[in-house]
Amino acid sequence: SLFRLKDLEVPKLGDCDVHVKMLAAPINPADINMIQGTYPLLSPLPAVGGNEGVGEVLEVGRRVAALKPGDWVIPANAGLGTWRTQGVFPEEMLLKVPSDIPVLCAATLSVNPCTAFRVLADFESLAPGDSIIQNAANSGVGQAVIQIARASGIKTINVVRDRPDLPKLVERLMALGADHVVTEEMLRKPEMKDIFKSIPRPRLALNCVGGKSTTEMLRHLQPKGTMVTYGGMAKQPVMVPVSAFIFRDVRLRGFWMTQWRKDHAEDQESVAAMMDALCQLIRRGQLTAPACTELPLQDYRAALEASMKPFVSSKQILLL
């Protein structure tokens, strides 16, 4: 119960500020980690939670050029505090997005799809017909990876934890464009060889789990392949057999979207190119919002609890 719903005065609009009415904001694992103090970003307290979301511009300061009332905006960086109905922010903390995309797509755009886009683009140069393997394939990033890869002709092998409603989950991921969905247990089975009759071994593995899941996934990576770790949901280290390094020369890399944004703060072209590419996919129906449960801000306690349950297949979204 670190949380309270609180009424605050909306601060005065400065010359370079933008007054935003928030429309929707999701609850992500990193938001919870930030509140627990286990994340490298700590906001000075008292703070507003939430790193992602979409809002509508109500009013702009007289020196704001790039935004006008009615525009839709999303956070340019983590730490904005999106779980609120309204806010006044400096213009550089916001990115304009088109208002002709679905509100849930815009609300979930700045973290997961961007992460998926970067991990697919920045580590291996993948060509149509190549394959990748990823764990936690039903996560927000996982769902975006499936769809972005599909749109580029890249095959995906998607690892999920075994669960009571597995067939339903498999069906949902296949509908998004997954080529193969396997459980962590299946990674060790000889049947994996059958998959590689029709598609090449992956050159890229995406890990957001850690522990045994990661070690098993690594076995299937091509020689000189890369594994990128962008999360650690099992809270266990990544274990790599020495032979994988020596005889297969695999590469282990890490990725943090917040760091990428810092590194590209002066490079607005890269940011714009990524946002354009993602918005194009959304408009063509090739990238959808993850499965969402929408709740009003008043129900924030229920939303937080639901977001921390195991085997969650739906992202909690606060409607503001």
pLDDT tens digits, one per residue of 114-131: 999 999 999 999 999 999
Q: Which two tokens stand for residue 269?
A: 């072209």
Number of structural domains, the chain?
A: 2
**What would the mean pLDDT of 77-105 be, rounded to a whole number?**
93
- The domain containing residue 176 runs over which residues? 111-257
Shared domain check, 299 and 231: no
Model pTM?
Answer: 0.91
Residue 300 annotated to the active site: no
Strand 204-207 and strand 131-134: pairing? parallel
Shared domain check, 144 and 23: no
CATH of the domain at 253: 3.40.50.720
Secondary structure string (H, E, C) spanning 153-195: CCEEEEEECCCCCHHHHHHHHHHHCCCEEEECHHHHCCCHHHH
Quick one: which of 104, 60, 58, 109 has its CA closest to 85? 58
The verdict on residue 248 lying in a domain is yes
pLDDT tens digits, one per residue of 172-186: 999 999 999 999 999
pLDDT tens digits, one per residue of 219-276: 999 999 999 999 988 889 999 999 999 999 999 999 999 999 999 999 989 999 999 9
The verdict on residue 134 lying in a domain is yes
Shared domain check, 180 and 133: yes
Q: Which of 16, 32, 33, 39 is catalytic?
A: 39
Q: Which two tokens stand for residue 113?
A: 């799809």
Residue whose tokens read 């992956």: 202
Beta bridge mates, 318: 25, 295
